[in-house]
A and B are shown apart, each in its own frame.
Chain A
């Protein structure tokens, strides 16, 4: 099965950059790699040469890398993916257009919380079936809980549940929001009072129009679940050494465990490099120069602060990994340079061991 490397993590930890670094490390080692990014910063998208809604496009890797494989990258467009999925699986052009025109569909496909997560799964499935790739690297949507997106196929499957569908769709196919059973009438009445008549009609039409697509959605969501659970799929937690990362890491490991997946490793971004020399900084005096002592004092203080930060970082990393056997890969803070292709390539050197 095609290996899938999945980078999870909270927003702002450098997830897209790390995913790109992993992808370059894989390409360097000789794989034909495709990188699926979700909502990357525009600078980063420019660096990789991807545009919204694009098909995978080739990334020209720095010559010095002597990459034995190739890298393609693309950027998820949830709305476009949703439209394409509907276009591809709708039984007739009329059914397709009826969905495109539906009020609720337009909202759901563009705004629904979770649509992004779900469409990432649909796009992953398309890439998986494509057959052109030796390795798929997936950057996940920024969620509070790193693994929320894993539940997307299950949530969709729940929505597709036959009982739910029958309840919602049958009345619509009879031409109105009328319930078969008396209990349902009460429910429908309450609902109508809440959101108004026209919304109910829109929602019923949405579910009605989608009826022909349900089976496909359900089948794919089962296949994606299987793919996510395969031994060839590896989950990385991208994080920083900040104290807040500890609770998140614990939650992540628990969630992975409930999906019967081991953690492939922690990618700890923006690590400070410990000072390598023993003792405190010392400078032979030059008391005749103005501000000499002030400069020595300030430099010494910056050094002390650095030591304190490194100590806190190491304590946090130790706690992060406590209770797991997953390896920790430290990625040093490369500063601003990391937002162009050369910077990401530099970062990928630290990830070679992580993909080996």
Chain B
């Protein structure tokens, strides 16, 4: 990436979010500012309840910040937009649609219909290697396959930013590792800006160029760690000394926050 001129894709400017709960106001995020660069892969880690998902929902336009602003390509984010794709932990596939129909859903909403929509859908279904399952319903798929469909569905509408909210959190370790490799492969090809939330430190380091560590409630950015391990990264990368050193550092930082939460 040396000497590469990169522009800011998403700017998060002093975002604060307050929730009204039964016990009064709860500050979920406070003073969060961050620039996500074009083509960048960012992972966010932090203890549960640190506002990671809240931040992602604000970038997606599913939640409004109480104060502060988010910009995407210089334009203020108001509501959702197809330039910001989201993959949810719970897959969120439409159970009454087949795999193909799920992937075509966003395309049809964009006005892309018929053969053109099918061709685009097939391209991304092939990308996630589910071409043998196009007419299956979600209930007939495993968790890993469901999440592949959700990823294909997000890619199909061609967003310029992918927001992923613990997408592999509900999967078993093996499937998770495999989906990580697939996601890395795709990212290295397409270099789509990625904002990826996880509670798994290993996952964050193997995927990201930058790991954002968030502090416990109210959520703030505690530290930004650059991951200077060159791509392509493989599972063997996890054995390298630099990986272990980063893991050690990030883990201890996150662990401190866990202790904060427990207090």
Tell whether A and B belong to one assembly: no
Binding site for B on A (CB under 8 A): none
